[in-house]
Each structure stands twice: as C-alpha cells, then as structure tokens.
Chain A
Amino acid sequence: MGKVSNKSIFSNYQKNEGLFDEVFDENGNVKSVYQKILDIYGARSIKDYVKLNNKAKSSFFNQGITFQVYGDKESQEKIFPFDLFPRIIDPDEWDLIEKGAIQRNLALNEFLWDVYHDKKIIKDNVVPLELLSSSPNYLHQMMGLDPPSRIYNHISGTDIIKHSDGNYYVLEDNIRCPSGVSYVICNRTALKRALFGVFNHYKTHTVTDYAENLLSLLESVKPHGVDVPVCVVITPGMFNSAYYEHSYLAKAMGIELVEGRDLFVENDFVYMKTISGPVRVDVVYRRIDDLFIDPMEFNPDSALGVPGLFAAYKKGNVTLANAPGTGVADDKAIYTYVPDIIKYYLDEEPILKNVHTYHCSRPDDLKYVLDNIHNLVIKPVDEAGGYGISIGNRLTKNEIDEVKNTIKAAPRKYVAQPIMSLSVHPTYIDDTKSFEQRHVDLRTFTVLGKDQQFVLKGGLTRVALKKGNLIVNSSQGGGSKDTWVLKQQ
C-alpha cells in the first residue's frame, strides 16, 4: 500500500498496488489529464465536497431522476448513486474505443443479416449452428426480411473495461434495448451545475448531442415512400425501471412517448390514437423486448405490445429500431465469437480485445472451468443485469461445489472468463467520508443509421460502490460517474 500525500482531499487515499488506478500512476503521481482537476479539488476540503455532493443529489431527486425500491408497504424513491469526481479519457484512447465500437457493431450487424438470410458464417463453420438453434432470441419470423438500410442494431451499448495491463477489453455487447444513456446526460448536467469552474480548464466533448443524432438515425431508416417520418418511442410504461430514460429521450427528440395501448394497426399500417384522431407512425424506437412487441407473433400474453405490429414491419410500412431478433447476437455465448465475426465479415483485426471465454458446452473448456473455478468468473449466457454471476475466488468451498453442480447440469447455459481486474478510480464514499478506490467499467453507445455511424463521446462510467466488488450494474448497487472525453489539442 502506498499513500498519496500531495493533496489534502486525497491525503488518506489508499492505493492498492495490484490495481490499475485511472488517476494515479504506479509511483503515486497524478496522470497528466487529471492534474488540473486534482489541483482544483485539492484546494477544497472534504466538507466542501460533501456539500456539493448533497446539492447534486437533491437536484437529481427534485428532477425525479429516480428509480423505485419496493418495500413492504410504500415504495421508496431513490436516486442512482452518482459520483462527482469525473472519469477523464484522453483523445487517443478515445479514438481507439470509438473505432473499436463502430467496427464491432458493424460486424455484428453483418452477422445479424447473415443469420437471417444465407447463414454463410454457420455453413463455413465459423460460428456453431448450436448457438442459433439453442437461442430463444433467434426469431424465425425475421428470416429473409430486409430491414430498411439493412440495419438491425441501430443502437448498441458496448461495455468496456480496462484491465490491470492497461488495455481496454470488451466485456459485453448489448444490442436489444441498451439503457443508461440518459444518465450520461444527467450526470453531465449535474456536474456542470456543481463544478462549472472546472470545466473551463478542460476541452470536453459535449454529450447532449445524443438525442439529435438518435433522431437523425431514426429518420434515416424511415420506410420507403415516406417523406417526413413520424417517429415515436415505445415504452412498457411508467413502472418500468428505465421509464425516466424513455421519457427523457422522447422529450429530447421532441417525439411522442407511446405505450402499446396508444397504437393500433389497420391494414398493416400503424397509427397512434391522438386527440385529433389516428396519426400514422413510421418509425418506432422500441424500448420493449422484442418478444413482447406483438402478441400475434411472439409472447401471446404480452399486454405491452401492439397486435399486428410485426406484420406491418414485415410489409415495410413501419421501421422498428432495434430490429426484432437482435438478441441472438448479444448472447454471451456469441460474444466469444465476435473477434472471428469481425475477421469474417470485415477482414480486419479486432481493434478492441475480447476477454477470453471458456464455453462450458465444449468438453475441454468445461474441464478447464471445473478445475480452475477459483480463478474464473462464471456467467449464465442468457441473463442481463449482472444476475447469476459467480466470482470464483469469492466463493466458499460449499458454494464452489454448488456452482460446479449447476454447471454440470446445464453446461450450455454457462460461460467462464478469467477474473479481469477492472481498473479503479477514486470515488467518494459516504460511509467513510473519503475517497477510495473503486472498480469501474464504461458503457459506450453506438448509433448506426443509413450511411451514418456515431459513438456518443462520453458514455456511462459505472462504479461498483461496494469495496472490492467487480459487478457494476445499477441493479447490483452500482453507481456512475460523468465521463469526459477530451478534445484533441
């Protein structure tokens, strides 16, 4: 353990040598991009910081940027924990992330087109057939269907980490309905209110242009023959945990936020019910899982969807973004093939690395996993939000046996990865009233439209607030940080 003693606010900062710290180098010196902000912070006391922190919190609370926690009697509203110390990414590193995210998502888009058409990649034995046939997200209704501009994954969330070797790795692809982008923007707004003085010293890329880019994407994939498309955002409703984001995006784009019951289909055209009668809808940004969008085609019990929507989509009268059936490409079992997928379609080397993954469905891998379980992270292939993850070196002997048995019972359902040491970032911890190292990752947002690609210059840095915890998802008690991407000097 080394101590960083130069600045008062960080005087008690404990630096663990084994971890990659985003702010301090191995000698305990501040990295150049963080120098200015540390100078400014250093001139303040913890007390000042606490005051600022509370102000920011109440700003979130009053704006209703909250989620519900359901208790015995009353539900409670909570804000997403938010840390005022931003993460800063220098332009060169960002360049790599941006290129890598675009490359990856373009390749996944090609993969989706292929698996819903000729399935060449399967026939060429690059990706095993088993991964398609066992995936509940591989929708036969999408076979042979050509979405406008050939785009499936209009909006993708790519989760990236920095390992202790200083390299970025992709941890996960999210190409169904990735969420979190509204927090990027809210974090920035809150930070600007609290720390406006600091911004003067940095040339930071804006993040508020996301909505503009999203709308321009949605308009670019309009159905054939429509001049000025009517776009809407469809939400499962206000009890959904991401409802705030849905309403934020609709408002920022100036388009309607609809629920399934606001839409109906007649003669394969989609309409919304307005006070002036039915209005035709051309592009739907769906924030409902694909299996719930149309009870005629998918889950028949879905009360969230619109009966007849898929037939209208198939006929080309309405565009859905993301396309239904994208889930087949963000399955954790597919993840391990993404480097091969990139090489296959783009004939390029992957810019962003993958974490090595062991497939329990392969006998060799299964054996390795069972023998080395204490050094691995075990993940179920079809769960999102950090559920069902076991970290080998945190398990007791009994728990290890339990996990081994679950894997053996259904090997296809599990993959394993070496325990990656996510980089750490100084984060203010309420309990100890001081800054401590916490693990962080980064969710980036990529938007693919007709002849346009855009990566939001920022992204959501998620922080595992529990000491030593590696799981950053908000549903598992994670918080977030504003992320500054600096402009090239």
Chain B
Amino acid sequence: MADTAIRTKDQTPTIEGMAEGMAKPAGALDARLAALNLPQQGGFSARARQDALGRLRAMGLPGPRDEYWRYTDPRGFNAPVPQALPIPHADETPLFDGLDKLTLVFVDGAFDEAASDDLALDGVEIATLAQADTVGSWAADLYGVLESAGQTPVKRPFAALNTAAARDGVLIRVTRTPSRPIHVVHRRGATDADAMWHHVIRVEQGAELTLLETGMSGARSNGVIEVDVARGGKFHHVASKRAVDPKVGISHVFARIASQAQFKSFTLSVNGTVMRNEAVIDIAGDDAVAHIAAAVLGDGEQAPFHHDDTVFITHGAERCESRQVFKKVLKNGATGVFQGKILVKPGAQKTDGYQISQALLLDERSQFLAKPELEIYADDVKCSHGSTTGAIDDEALFYLRSRGVPRERAIVFLVLSFLADALAEVEDEGLRDRIYERLDVWLTLNAVH
C-alpha cells in the first residue's frame, strides 16, 4: 500500500460485474503481420522497427474486452487485409486549394514525387522516410521513440504496428520558421490498399511550423505522426479527413512539448465507417501549451458511421496549459466516441487543464459514448472537464424560424454554432473561414429534415 508511484489501469473493464481480461485472438497477430510484408532490411529505422515488433508481440492485438477499445470494435483493424473499396470520384475542390503552401502528395501512404512540389523550403529540411532510410537522417533519434514512450500506461498496438511496418512518410525538421505551410495530401490508389505512413517532425528552438493535412488513403489506413517541439517552438496542425466511402482508419499523434513550446491541433472529420484518432501528448517542459480539438460530422445513412477520438494528455511540468475541445454532430444512427484523459504528474503544479466533449444527436438512433477522465497527483492545479449530450435546442430553432430563417438553414446555423468552440482552436483566421465555408456547404447538401 505504501506505494506512491503512478498507477494507471486502463487495460481492463471498469464497471463491476463485467467480465475481465484482454482476449488475444490466437494467431490473429501472426496473420496480420504475415499479410503486411514487413520491410526486411532498413537503414536508420531498422532498430526501431525491430523494437516496435517486439512491443507489438508483447502486447498483442486488442480484443473485444480490452478496456481501451470499450466503445470501438477493433476487428476492422485486426483483420489481416482490408475490405476492398472502389476509388471514389473526387468532385469538390480540395479544402486548401489556392493557398500558398508546399504540397506533398502520398498515394496510399507512398510518396508521389511527380505530384508533389519540390522539397525545398527555407529553414526546413524535408525528406521522405523511404529515401532517407537508406542514407540516414536526424530522425533516427525520434523514429519510434515518442511512439514507444506513448505505450505507457496504455497500450497502442496499431501505433507499434505502424512503426514496424510503415514504409514511407515525411521527415520534417524546422530550424527557422518557413514562409509557408506544408500541406500533406493523401490520395487513394489501389482499391484494396492497406495504407500506412509515418511522419516525423521536429520543430527546433523558437521555430514555427504549420502542417496541413487533407484527404484519405487506402481502403484501410494507419498513420502515425511523431512531433517533437523544442523550447519555444510552435507547431500547428490542421487536418481535414473526409471519407465518402465506408473506410476504416486509425491515426496516432505522439507529441512531446518542451518548455514554452506550443502544440495546436485541429481535425475536421466527416464520415468513414470506423475512424479512430488517438493523440498522446506529453507536456514535458514548464510553461508549455497543448491544445487539441476536433469537429466531427457523422452521417450513418450510406454506411455505418463510427468515430472515436481518444486523447491522453500528460502534464509533467509546471504552469502548463492543456485544452481538449471535441464536438460531434451525429445523425442516421451514427456513433461518436470520446475518451479523453488528463494526467497531472506529481509536481506538475499550476497546471491548467480543460476538457470538453459534446455531442449533438440529430436523430433517435445516433449515440454518443464518452469517458472523460482526470488523474491528478498535484494539489495546486486547475482541471475541469465537462461532457454534454443532447438534441438541437428547440427554443433556438423556434427563435430562428420566427425570424424567417427556413428550418433547414436554421439547423445549419445551430450546428455551425455548436461546432464554433472547436473551430476557434484553428488559429489562422483564413484557414478557419475556409473550414466554415466548407462545413456550410456539406451541411446544406446533407440537410437534416
């Protein structure tokens, strides 16, 4: 009992009366690995890949009773091969078109040099994982390192799988703030692609980077981003993920934030059958800031929609601020999941942690499942979390309609205003306006009647 060490038990069911244990489908991992054709020899990443494989074998794939997969069925991620899907026809302009940016295109996780801009940007070293792996890279000190650290206290087998198996990705090292953002575009190639990519980003002291990410890849996708922000550095991440087909995807962001550094991430997600976005943020230096936000629109009409945001923020230093803002709009039997955790380590005094998860359910069949957690080991901190679930406010709707706004338009207004707190986390006003416009279009096209 005289044990003050931090104990987190996230691996087992939590409600009394539930069965125990983590079922490991026998042979499932072997089958999964066999289907992957793992890189046999590698350059700088070889060691990290071996270690990741060891981690993965030790933890196994998640079973149906794994507490961390309580609300999301891992079977789609466990299956050896994805279900083939036709390539959808892209009929709208990409979200960040017309913006001055450096664009990198990945098709099913592999770099497409012809479709991409030249990798030259002042103040930034850019390389692809596939190329750099043969010649060596600064990223050798980071590849798989933050992912590995992020496996405690909760196991994230698909991130370890990614470190072991991803063949490509982008390596970005920012020494001086570049003049324009970097835009990673994901595209689909083959109908049955099991896409995997692994980005490594280091923002050096005092530098700043905006990373834009759009599009989808593979019939199934697994993406990992490791971000290391040095003292006083700033990293902004704005992602838009829209699936127009019943796609299965998982992503992990592992961030380490040094003192006075800043990490801000916003993701807009629209549809997809099973999407899980995990963020593991380690606030390691004093006076650092980490914000993570998401706006999710889920419509289960064409394919079952299931969207899971799982966030784990660790405060390990003093006077740091973290903010989690997650908003989900769900209709036609859509399911939204939020698992968010703030861990305040002993000594992380003056922490200011905030977390809000909210769902707007637009019909009787949709559901929201949330587990907003706090784990606090320091006494002089401020941590709050809130979670609400409900329908469109009839009074607000009545108010708008009484002022002549048609019902469908009024609902679009109310949904946009519901999402506003999450969108406010996009610092760049221009980007934010683009996202609002796009949302407005989507919401109007998919009107709720």
A binds B: no
